[in-house]
């Protein structure tokens, strides 16, 4: 089974993508037009660390912003902490 994963830069207005082709759980090709050092190479197994890398370096994973999907503060989802809660005053930078 062959599939393609596209990592798109969130900050660039230009076509800055990293395209991975995966066949049988192994990375078969890597096209890096973003010019960013990418730690995963051809022949390496494909796993969730690629998604984590994309989140930490400002890339969308197949068009999905993984950073805002399930962010938590001290084990509590951000959407579960109401406005005006003391946690929002103690850690204002965490709730943006």
pLDDT at 28: 96
What pLDDT shows up at residue 91?
85
Supply the range of the domain harboring residue 94: 69-96
Residue 3: the pLDDT is 93
Q: Coil, helix or strand for 11?
A: coil
Number of structural domains the chain divides into: 2
What parts of the chain have a pLDDT lower than 70? Answer: 66-70
Q: Which long-range contacts (CB under 8 A, 24 or more apart) does 1-4 make?
A: 2/28
Tell me, yes or no, whether 45 and 73 share the same domain.
no
Q: What is the pLDDT of residue 67?
A: 64
Instruction: Write the pLDDT tens digit of every residue in 64-75.
Output: 876 666 677 888
Whole-model pTM over 0.85 = no
Judge if 82 and 53 occupy the same domain: no
- In this structure, are strands 2-9 and 59-61 parallel, antiparallel, or unpaired? antiparallel
In a shared domain, residues 57 and 73? no
């Amino acid at each position: 089974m062959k599939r393609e994963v596209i990592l798109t830069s969130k900050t660039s207005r230009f076509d800055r993508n990293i395209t991975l082709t995966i066949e049988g759980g192994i990375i078969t090709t890597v096209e890096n037009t973003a010019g960013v050092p990418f730690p995963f190479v051809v022949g390496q197994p494909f796993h969730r660390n690629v998604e984590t890398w994309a989140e930490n370096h400002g890339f969308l994973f197949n068009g999905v912003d993984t950073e805002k999907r399930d962010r938590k503060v001290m084990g509590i989802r951000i959407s579960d902490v109401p406005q005006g809660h003391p946690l929002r005053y103690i850690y204002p930078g965490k709730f943006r």
